[in-house]
Amino acid sequence: MDGGPQVFDRVFVQALSLGAGALRVAVKDTIDIAGHPTRAGSAVFDPAPPAAAHAEVVERLLAGGCRIVGKTHLHELAFGVTGVNPRFGTPPNPRYPDHVPGGSSSGSAAAVAAGLADFALGTDTGGSVRIPAACCGVFGIKPTFGRVSRRGVLPARSTLDCVGVLAGSAAMLARGMSIIDPTFQPDHSDAGVRLGRVEVDADAAILDALDEVLAQSGFAVAPAALARLNDAFDAGLIVINRENWQAFGHVAAHPLLGEDVRSRLAGASSVTDAALACAEAVRVAFASEVDAALAQVDALVLPTMASIPPRLADAGDARTAVGITQLVRPFNLSGHPAVTVPLSVPAQVPVALQLVGRHGDDARLCRIAERLAERIPNVIQSRGDP
């Protein structure tokens, strides 16, 4: 790859070359690549043996004509949203260098934004593809839950986590999805689009940017409401805490574990069975509410983040940033597919909108994002995709 290892080091991508295809792909280091250890951004797993086999999505990449160029760094144990990682280094944000790259798939977003990969794989348990995509000014998709194989992905069990794609354009997003998911058929329809604008609390500048995009889109837009959105955010935190404690509780006292993750794991250990049962009830109710809101529209639209993400200088305690996932985490709970579309705004800060679709409607979401990019000049997208 042009620039050699120094370029990889600069964006904290572990140098690797596998496959001989034309498309360059970076892979988050929670996804197994045979012959390389999976460390999940943690020194705790420095002694981990090399993976014995490729994750299923890696097998699909290689079969689909891709060249894997690196394993990307991440927020430790994929349990954080800023991407700040004192042990392995924090991937710099190529487009907004004063701001955090977002987590947990920070290296994957940074690699795409820096032009080091045509697309990248990340994982999204509570916004961990969509948040770094928004922070770094690229596209990102969290597929319908269960649609993309998680065989060979850490943690082994999750009711929230999805392998997703980050790319510089919506067209490349769909191309990446079609490679890792054999059921994904790109949508080339030009049929009319109906969007439901979800009313949320967010910074005025972010809402103004969203409304400007919708006004210029030419799409039909109707108001939509998700009364249980905040409850779903809280429930999503309860579920991820219980499942991450089950996956990583055995390393909570490890001396090399980062303090922010240690603190989150300590809190996660206190989730009760009763709290989990309540969260699961919210999951069912919220999923039904989203389904009802989608009954009359092709997709729901709302900001990806309600506020501007933290500046690097202010991101010392990553635990305080969990709130930036308040508009994305609920859709991990419900399992609906969601796409982040990055926007350019005069203030030159990270802003993005989020499209949420019906279960299984991933290709339609990618097509809507592509049509927005065709119509709206302030949608950020790379040109000249292979």
Helices (H), ranges, the chain:
4-10, 56-63, 106-113, 130-136, 170-180, 204-217, 229-248, 259-268, 273-293, 330-334, 362-375
d(CA 157, CA 176) in angstroms, rounded, equals 24
d(CA 253, CA 261) in angstroms, rounded, equals 11
* Catalytic pick among 28, 105, 178, 334: 28
Looking at residue 384, what is its pLDDT?
A: 52
**Through-space distance between the first and last CA atoms of the chain, rounded to whole angstroms:** 15
* pTM to 2 decimal places: 0.95
Angle at the Cα of 375 (from 378 to 148), degrees rounded to 5?
A: 85
Token pair of 358 as six digits = 């019906």
Give the domain ranges of the chain: 4-375
How many CB atoms neighbour CB 233 within 10 A? 22
d(CA 116, CA 151) in angstroms, rounded, equals 26
Looking at residue 2, what is its pLDDT?
A: 36
Token pair of 275 as six digits = 């709290």
Catalytic (active site) residue 17: no
Catalytic (active site) residue 270: no
* Catalytic pick among 104, 108, 178, 217: 104
Looking at residue 322, what is its pLDDT?
A: 87
Phi and psi at residue 298, to the nearest 5°: -80, -30
* Catalytic pick among 105, 106, 108, 128: 128
Looking at residue 3, what is its pLDDT?
A: 34
**Cβ–Cβ < 8 Å for 242, 269:** no
Catalytic (active site) residue 158: no
Q: State which CATH number among 3.40.50.2300, 3.30.70.141, 3.90.1300.10, 1.20.1250.20 fits the domain covering 4-375.
A: 3.90.1300.10
d(CA 353, CA 306) in angstroms, rounded, equals 10
pLDDT, one tens digit per residue, over 227-282 is 999 999 999 999 999 999 999 999 999 999 999 999 999 999 999 999 999 999 99
Q: Which residues contact 223 (CB under 8 A, 6 or more apart)?
A: 196, 197, 199
d(CA 349, CA 308) in angstroms, rounded, equals 7
What does each of the 386 residues of the chain score in pLDDT, given as a tens digit?
333 343 354 566 766 778 877 899 999 999 999 999 999 999 999 999 999 999 999 999 999 999 999 999 999 999 999 999 988 889 999 999 999 999 999 999 999 999 999 999 999 999 999 999 999 999 999 999 999 999 999 999 999 999 999 999 999 999 999 999 999 999 999 999 999 999 999 999 999 999 999 999 999 999 999 999 999 999 999 999 999 999 999 999 999 999 999 999 999 999 999 999 999 999 999 999 999 999 999 999 999 999 999 999 988 666 668 899 999 999 999 999 999 999 999 999 999 999 999 999 999 999 999 999 999 999 999 865 56
d(CA 294, CA 277) in angstroms, rounded, equals 26
